[in-house]
Structure 1
């Protein structure tokens, strides 16, 4: 089984260096790497060239078109039986390809995804963000989980498709705003089998500051409405949770200003919720500091997603603006 690893890259040379270092350590070595530089000003050509004698690697530079279409560029040039998509901000465990290969031989999948986790080298903020994006007490709990709700949709930071899928379904038709979910839905509609490989995790660095994390999650909230515009049936009740949470916080603030008796009740439930997150994050990461930061990260995750979701719900669904 031969894999083609496709990595879109935009102005992140240091990230690709760290990612390629981990790919050099893979225990299963039947793979090629295609790095697609998407119109970067700060390109990684020289960094990638340093791996020519360590990996079967190819570097391409193209005009900027976004991550979805950059992956298509890689698909067109890939030689593998399976195409694996990685984001540039991940680290890959040394047995990742071994796990995927063995799983695919035992359980025939046409497309797959795996979970993400925090690496021990990550900063406390990165570990807190990782917690928020994987916690059972946030919407992160429905991603990369065996008990996910409805059809599993692989995410593009850790996603694989067979060559047969690409030849029949084609590539991405969106370049951003939920492009991976839209692609997964089309794969499913074409009768292909999609599954989660629970042990095929990657270490996802995500954003390095809460400001960057807010922008990313606000974008994710908007992306959910973009998916709804293409596939209305894919909008589930769980996707409204961040918006309901955000409105609940606003209601709590109003109650504290104008209705103190009701504010006591609201404050109790808000405090209880964040205490659950704090103690669970403490248990997971064995750090009070990371637990405290996890509360902040969870707050940002839910409110940023909720505000982005409501923004495009009002704009694109209620008022039908483009």
Structure 2
């Protein structure tokens, strides 16, 4: 099996350097790498060229059109039997491709997704952000978990698509705002089999600051409404939970001024919730600082997603907007 690894890139030369370095260590060598520079001002051509003697690598520069269409550009030029899509802000374990190849030989999958985790080299903030995105107390622990609600939808930071599926379904029709979920829904609707490969994990750096993390999660909340506009049946009750939690926390703050006796009960419930996060993160990460930071990252994860979800719910659904 020959893999085509596809990496869209926009103004992140340092990230691609770290990612490509991990690809030179793969125990399975039958792969090519396609880096698609999506109209970057700070391009990575010089960095990519330094790997020419260590990787079967191709570099393309195109006008900016967004990550979804950058991937389409690579699909049309890829030679592989299977396309693997990575975000530029990941590190790939040395046995990743071997793990995927072995799994696909035993289990027929036309598309797959894999989980993410925090690398030991990550900063405490990055580890706290990783915790917030994988914790049972925030996302329900369903990202990269076999126990998920409804059909599994691979996420584009770690996603594979067979050439056969691409030839029938085509590429991305959205370039942002939930484009990976929309794409996996179409793959599934065309009769192809999609699944999770639990052992095919990557180390996802995500964002390096809480302000960047807030912007990203606010975007994710809006993206869920964008998916709803295309596939109404894909909006589940679980997707409302961050919005409900956000409204609940705002209501708790207001209740301290309106009716303190009730506020004491609500304050205790919120305190208990964040104490659970603290001790669970401490047990997982074995680091007191990360446990404290996990309270902040979990609060951001819920409220940023919730506010983005509420914003576009009213803007695009309640008030009938139709922007895509």
Q: What TM-score results when the alignment is normalised by the length of structure 1?
A: 0.99
Q: SS of 2:76's equivalent?
A: helix
User: What's the RMSD between the two structures over aligned residues?
Assistant: 0.5
Q: Supply the distance in 1 between the matched residues of 2:286 and 2:256 (Cα, whole angstroms).
A: 34
2:184 counterpart of 1:190: no
Equivalent residue for 1:305? 305
Equivalent residue for 1:85? 85
Q: Supply the distance in 2 between the matched residues of 1:242 and 1:257 (Cα, whole angstroms).
A: 24
Q: Supply the distance in 2 between the matched residues of 1:147 and 1:140 (Cα, whole angstroms).
A: 10
Equivalent residue for 1:30? 30
Equivalent residue for 1:319? 319
Q: Supply the distance in 2 between the matched residues of 1:51 and 1:77 (Cα, whole angstroms).
A: 19
Equivalent residue for 1:94? 94
Runs of 4+ deviating beyond 2 Å: none
Q: How far is the alpha carbon of 1:267 from its aligned partner?
A: 0.6
List runs of 5+ in structure 2 lacking aligned partners. none
Contact 1:133–1:140 (CA under 8 A) maintained in structure 2: no
Equivalent residue for 2:157? 157
Q: SS of 1:195's equivalent?
A: strand
2:153 counterpart of 1:142: no
Equivalent residue for 1:277? 277
Q: SS of 2:245's equivalent?
A: helix
Q: How far is the alpha carbon of 1:149 from its aligned partner?
A: 1.2
Q: Supply the distance in 2 between the matched residues of 1:110 and 1:321 (Cα, whole angstroms).
A: 35
Q: How far is the alpha carbon of 1:186 from its aligned partner?
A: 0.3
Equivalent residue for 2:41? 41
Aligned residues: 322
2:21 counterpart of 1:21: yes
Equivalent residue for 1:249? 249
Relative to structure 1, is the Cα distance of residues 58 and 140 closer, same or farther in structure 2, using a 3 angstrom cutoff?
farther
Q: Supply the distance in 2 between the matched residues of 1:293 and 1:317 (Cα, whole angstroms).
A: 35
The 5 A counterparts of 1:123-134 are 123-134=123-134
Q: SS of 1:222's equivalent?
A: helix
Q: What TM-score results when the alignment is normalised by the length of structure 2?
A: 0.99
- Measured against aligned partners, the alpha-carbon deviations of 1:124-173 in whole angstroms (never above 9, x if no partner) come to 00000000001111126221101111110000000000000100000000
Q: SS of 2:141's equivalent?
A: helix
The 5 A counterparts of 1:290-301 are 290-301=290-301
